[in-house]
A and B are shown apart, each in its own frame.
Chain A
């Protein structure tokens, strides 16, 4: 059974940093691209960032470019999101998401339950 378990969320002040982690199990992690998708309270889905199976290519939404950094450690079956210079508009539930193939150009077939990030003073 595929499991994606996010951690690292919490309350943080504007301008500070946070690192999210996602522990993956139940599939061959380094065979698939991975993504972060967020959802602000009561709002729609926003794709944040994606990374190919080997980390060779990375994409970011314009809204987070230069502040958020995605990475992965295939030896640890883990996905990360380093979040710097956080803003109140980054407040959201952050989902760890598995792509259907290696290069991150298909669809999202497995989702975690999310970790909540709240940016507020």
Chain B
């Protein structure tokens, strides 16, 4: 099974800061990598699919990059409403794995 790791597990940043989260797969997953945002008490929401494609309605300050086993998620200018936990997710023929999550809060 493919395992996913994320770093850091948590971070504190100020409004306007650039925030970067990394995600690593235990084997090559090509571009089958998605990113989700989960705010406290809410269901998750997809932000980015297939590494770098922004879901409709998602602000352009969110972006993703990478390929193979190493991926990056970036918030170019952190906003108060971005306080949440972020998860990467890989998919491979009806098998999915989430990363452990990165909790982002305000400094």
Chain A residues within CB distance 8 Å of chain B? 33, 35, 37, 44-47, 50, 52, 57-59, 61-62, 95, 100, 103-109, 111-114
Contacts and interface: CB of A to CB of B under 8 A. Distances in A.
Contacts of B92: 105
B94 A58 contact: yes
A121 B96 CA distance: 31
A104 B43 CA distance: 19
B45 A47 contact: no
Given A45-B36, A95-B43, A103-B94, 18 more contacts: A44-B87, A44-B98, A44-B99, A45-B87, A50-B96, A104-B94, A105-B92, A105-B94, A107-B34, A107-B49, A107-B50, A107-B89, A108-B36, A108-B44, A109-B46, A111-B43, A111-B44, A114-B43
B43 A113 contact: yes
Interface of B: 1, 32, 34, 36, 38, 43-46, 49-50, 55, 85, 87, 89, 91-101
Most buried by B among A33, A104, A112: A104
A66 to B, nearest CB: 16
Contacts of B101: 44-45
A120 B50 CA distance: 39
A114 B94 CA distance: 21
A52 B73 CA distance: 29
A1 B17 CA distance: 35
A108 B89 CA distance: 10
Nearest to B47: A107
A52 B38 CA distance: 25
